[in-house]
Amino acid sequence: MKILAAMSGGVDSAVAAARAVDAGHEVVGVHLALSRAGGTLRTGSRGCCTIEDAMDARRAADLLGIPFYVWDFSERFRDDVIDDFIEEYRAGRTPNPCMRCNEKIKFAALLERAVELGFDAVCTGHYAILVDTPEGRELHRASDAAKDQSYVLGVLTAEQLAHSYFPLGDTPSKAEVRAEAQRRGLTVAHKPDSHDICFIPDGDTRGWLADKVGAATGDVVDRTGTVVGQHEGAHAFTVGQRRGLSLGVPAPDGKPRFVLEVRPVTNTVVVGPKEALATAEIAGERHSWAGRAPEDADFACHVQIRAHAEPVPARASVRDGTITVIPENPFDGVAPGQTAVLYDGTRVLGQFTIARTVSAVPVEA
């Protein structure tokens, strides 16, 4: 096959490209320039897609003996990922920019261009497994549960999966990938993984949002609507947050209170007891299927609401374009804007953006 290897400058994508070469494919490396900020440099595990990363990717491609290019996707990244992130927070939701980047950049914009140029597939260093069946290609969890990235790939469609290539999916551990990189002479063998939001490399999400969204003081209220404090910007709060609330009125039982809801229209933050974070139902409309859709409108599944959360047994139903999920045991601290990924065993069924949640604890409790 003719493979376009997306090379981030990290060890995973470098080894993935190397394995594609070993498999006999015609491989071309590409690094995506996602920021036009000149002089952007990486600091340890903070940041990605920097000048340093581009240079690391080029060195890896040179060692592998494959052509290498840098493609400027900064405008598309700004529109589809950064602006979306800002608007979601402005609307009181908690987005996952990595999901949007996979959906809109790596497996939409990049894949579209790759197919136009005659490539058969895009190769990445994601830890996930593709399985071809008579009914079509399926996306499954990686062999290494600790590194499994099927959650952030849950946004991929059947067409996108048909042009995807994940050589690391069945690797037992990340340590083995690093050891392989060392044997191959790749300079990124021990390069730290990136953990923060790539366009907020200093990790100060609150400060970054304050600059982009603006800060306006507002009320912090309990579940009955009683004002118990003030805040300096609702965008700085996420569901489940405990610290930094600065409440002027203690809870009647003296226990800590947590953020239960952010209401952007009224610039209000709702707080309450930890028990009220238990979520009995979630629902959303913006959904997609990773391959063939479930045959029935009601079906059993497991649901994962964060990249490293434990999957929860649940029942899902699809009615008039809306997916509703009721877990066997309540979720803990779910926020609108998060992505729920549905699984059947190890197979990814699809995903949806959470738009509505129902607490398992009545207000009067």
By annotation, the residues acting in catalysis are 101, 198
220/223 Cα distance (integer angstroms): 10
Helix segments in the chain, DSSP class H: 11-22, 51-64, 74-77, 83-90, 97-101, 110-116, 158-162, 174-184, 205-213
Distances (CA, A) of 144 to 138, 140, 302, 346: 18, 12, 18, 12
Interacting residues of 284 by C-beta distance below 8 A, sequence separation 6+: 322, 323, 340, 352, 353, 354, 355, 356
Other Cβ atoms closer than 10 A to 118 = 8
Cα–Cα distance between 81 and 97 in angstroms, integer? 6
Nearest to 330 by CA among 289, 256, 279: 279
